[in-house]
Amino acid sequence: MPRTSLSNALALHRPDQLQTLVENRTVYSLDAFELNIFETHQTASRVPLSMGSLVLTTMLRGKKVMHLAGRNAFEYLPGESVVVGEQQTMEIDFPEANAENPTQCLAVAIPADTIRHTVDLLNERFPLAEDHKPWHLNDSDTAHLTNTPELTGTLERLVHLSQETHAAKDVLASFTLQELLVRLMQTQARQLIFRNYAQHLTSHRFAAVVQYIKQHLTDQITVEKLSELACMSKATFFRVFKREFGLTPVEYIIQERLSEAKRLLRNPLSTVADVCFRVGFNNTNYFQVLFKKYEGITPGLYKKQCAL
Phi, psi values for residue 110, rounded to 5°: -115, 125
Tell me the pLDDT of the chain (308 aa) as tens digits.
566 677 666 788 888 999 999 999 999 999 999 999 999 999 999 999 988 889 999 999 999 999 998 889 999 999 999 999 888 899 999 999 999 999 999 999 999 999 999 999 999 999 999 988 899 988 776 689 999 989 999 999 999 999 888 889 999 999 999 999 999 999 999 999 999 999 999 999 999 999 999 999 999 999 999 999 999 999 999 999 999 999 999 999 999 999 999 999 999 999 999 999 999 999 999 999 999 998 889 999 999 998 87
pLDDT in the model for residue 11: 85
Cα angle vertex 185, ends 107, 171, to 5°? 60
Q: What is the pLDDT of residue 87?
A: 82
Is 177 exposed, middle or buried (CB count within 10 Å of its CB: 0-12, 13-18, 19+)?
A: buried
Q: Hey, what long-range contacts does 298-301 have (CB within 8 A, 24 or more apart)?
A: 299/261, 299/265, 299/272, 299/275, 300/272
Distance CA 91, CA 180 (A): 25
Residue 133 is predicted with a pLDDT of 86
Q: Which residues pair with 65 in a beta bridge?
A: 75, 93
Q: What is the DSSP letter of 34?
A: E
Dihedral pair phi/psi, residue 276, rounded to 5°: -50, -50
Q: What integer pLDDT is reported at residue 131 of this predicted model? A: 83
In which element (H, E) is residue 55 found?
strand 54-61
Domains in the chain, CATH or no CATH each: 1-197 (2.60.120.280), 201-308 (1.10.10.60)
Residue 160 burial by Cβ neighbours in a 10 Å radius (0-12, 13-18, 19+): middle
Amino acid (1-letter code) at residue 104: Q
Give pLDDT, residue 269: 92
